[in-house]
A and B are shown apart, each in its own frame.
Chain A
């Protein structure tokens, strides 16, 4: 009794399946006839053109995207360069953050927020006037001032190292006010 039921079930599944395959085969045969060939050519031409247009559009979009990426990379690069090259300056024998330096530090904080994986070292420098040990301490205070400002803007303290070079690494070796002004600085380095 059970066996019969099984056979019926299998037949039920197989027969429609066979019918289906037969009908499919028939369709393939008709579409393979030579009569339809010219129409197909026309069709292909149109398809080719469309494809070409589509490809061109894709290429155009790719170019736009590439351009956009390039621009973005350039912007990122520029932002990174600005972060690295733009030093903040101090007055003689002072580690107070000047208004101009505050703007620069805000930009730097923004960049650090956009680049959360980066840790940096802030170098404190002095001009050659004054004495070596005092300037090492002053450079330390300058780097610490810049760091404290960034921490107040929400940058994690653990991302900011400081080092003082005192008067040991002048940007400009001259001994005039122009050179000194350039040398009293905090400089940023990406670790």
Chain B
């Protein structure tokens, strides 16, 4: 009987191990191009020649240039690729016969590992575009798609194709249907704006003509919570982004720093009606569920682990502001940060393994990232103004943040490892508190 049990256990273990191996093997086979967990990621050289014009009119020529350039900048934004200079190309696919097979050696010899070819036509005032990506060394097509759409939808098409490609290369759909909410003083008041992931098409969301702060996306991307002085004091607003629905939490004192619980219509926020700023759990319509912090002194800026089991937050309980993690089931609270005397604004990564935050040393703020077990502290920004309000892209590959490195506060993006820091948004006035949305699925 005992022998039988041991045998069964061994079989079960073996089956599990085999499944695990198979899983790893699958990943290897399908996504061996880009491992987004590798901090020393080598950028893949990719050649994106101007797409072939399938009709000879001026409009098609213009469109083919626009769409191929858009594909280049969109792919470059991810930080995974080195977009190759078109002047280095040995041949122009524009001149190649439509039916002719790709001559891969023309691309491998200049170092291109991936090649994008495309064909663009305008038919009946509609855009027809065919796009293919080849692995030039393995000499096979990774993805090929044909799209037909209205002329105004060219961005949508390019993004959809980028999403397909990134899925094949990384196993994740990427960031192409995400948005960024941020605060700007562009109108003379702090208001909340929303733009696409690459800074395109900024739109003002609020028109409170007051001080409006701290946007927070619900995990389905349908709601935005924020703080506004619309009624003269800092109250919490919970707004549906497409329907005319809104709740307000306007208790005495401050009603600030909203953070949604992943996958739920509930959120946490700091309220000070008790005379002390504490973190509370609220329903999505602003009704009190319970108090989550119980220490006297400041407790602020909650952020949730993706499984919703833990909440990181800032507390002054030890004298200086530090980041703590509360396990919701056990109620246990552990201190996460010990370096420095001013660590605030935590943001939990979508993969759950890391927490990014702002740390201040010698009066200057920089972005740091730390594993959620307190290991592997890394400083991501160095000696360039104040860097604050870090927020992860939905795939965890990029971090958006605010910086005063060029004077007024602007919005910047970098990879999760601190590389490729670049400006995303610069308008008159100052831009602060960027918050990356979850993936706003529009159907794939």
Contacts and interface: CB of A to CB of B under 8 A. Distances in A.
B321 A93 contact: yes
Given A129-B360, A168-B211, A134 B320 contact: no
A131 B253 CA distance: 19
A183 interface: no
A136 B234 contact: yes
B298 A130 contact: no
Given A130-B344, A131-B344, A131-B388, A137 B270 contact: yes
Interface in A135-186: 136-138, 140-141, 144, 162-165, 168
A191 B363 CA distance: 36
Contact of A137 (B190, B211, B272, B433): B272
A134 B300 contact: yes
Given A140-B277, A164-B234, A168-B190, A134 B253 contact: no
Interface of A: 93, 129-134, 136-138, 140-141, 144, 162-165, 168
B256 interface: yes
Interface in B224-279: 227, 232-234, 253-254, 256-257, 270, 272, 275-277
B300 A137 contact: yes
Given A140-B272, A141-B277, A168-B211, A134 B363 contact: no
A97 to B, nearest CB: 16
12 contacts: A130-B342, A130-B365, A131-B301, A131-B389, A133-B270, A133-B301, A140-B254, A144-B276, A163-B232, A163-B234, A164-B234, A164-B253
B178 interface: no
Q: How large is the interface on B (under 10, 10 to 19, 20 to 34, 35 or more residues)?
A: 35 or more
Interface of B: 190, 211, 213-214, 227, 232-234, 253-254, 256-257, 270, 272, 275-277, 297-301, 314, 320-321, 342, 344-345, 358, 360, 363, 365, 388-389, 432-433
A28 B362 CA distance: 101
B358 A131 contact: yes
**Nearest 10 CB-CB pairs, A to B?**
A137-B277, A133-B257, A137-B298, A131-B344, A137-B300, A134-B344, A140-B254, A131-B345, A133-B301, A140-B272
Contacts of A144: 272, 275-276
Contacts of A165: 211
B238 to A, nearest CB: 17
A165 B253 CA distance: 11
Which interface residue of A130, A131, A136, A164 has the most chain B CB atoms within 10 A? A131
